[in-house]
Structure 1
């Protein structure tokens, strides 16, 4: 018994599947990671304490150097950032960094972890505890992006 299959109608199928796979790698993963990072970022910003009035921050070497920093209310909140990290990402793994700018807010670690004289007021740790919510948001955004890609195929 012999038979033959006409594959001419499948011309371009491999390219279409490859293009769809590339779109998923390039667009879906980054959208999901961005949505996850946004949940953590927004929560960290909402958790950070904001002082009522300006105050001074004395660094580790301030006794020796005399350097002190005048911290305006909201400085730490404004210094929190969320940024894509291309150097640590791959086509299938996307990484966002969420932290605070240590130059703009050198007192961030002391607020987060406390000192021998001041209690901790964590803002990053509680945000990271919302990872389940972040994953849910990321999954929802990836599903929406997949639907969008399927619609344009």
Structure 2
């Protein structure tokens, strides 16, 4: 006489748990992205050249006439910001921008990219290579921290 057995799996509880995990991962995306953005923000600020004395920037105003602007040392460094970009973010992913405020330091592009008279001194682009691994580690660390109770 042959033996008989059956196997049954009720995965309904697993579906509930996986849904909880998916919601937690989605909620953890923004804090993790901000942790990485903070690393880049700090690196960009550290990279910005700061003059020892005040300086002038020559440009044109809306009437296309020449204007001389006065800037204190550290103006460009103090114009660095990071901001959450909701229009480039969504469910489960977040986007942050690190740059400089062009109204506070309109000469930032000339420093970053150089001019015909001055060499480039990349402070934003250089930060990517300098801080990439640290930013990834910060994001992963934040994600692990936020997911600890769920896993």
TM class by shorter chain equals 0.7 to 0.9
TM-score of the superposed pair, with normalisation by structure 1: 0.82
- Give 5+ residue unaligned stretches, structure 1: none
**What residue is the counterpart of 2:46 in the other structure?**
46
**Greater helix share, structure number:** 1
Q: Name structure 2 gaps, 5 residues minimum.
A: none
- 1:147 and 2:148 equivalent? yes
Query: What number of residue pairs does the alignment pair up?
Result: 146
Partner of 2:132: 131
CA-atom RMSD in angstroms: 2.4
Q: CA 1:73–1:13 in 2, change beyond 3 Å: closer, same or farther?
A: same
Aligned to 1:25: 26
Q: Which range moves more in the overlay, 139-148 or 12-21?
A: 12-21
For 1:59, what is the secondary structure of its paired residue?
Answer: strand
Q: Secondary structure at the match of 1:67?
A: strand
With normalisation by structure 2, the TM-score equals 0.83
Q: Which residue of 2 aligns with 1:120?
A: 120
Task: State the 1:83 CA deviation.
Answer: 0.7
- 2-structure distance, mates of 1:148, 1:47: 37
Alpha-carbon offset, residue 112 of structure 1: 0.7
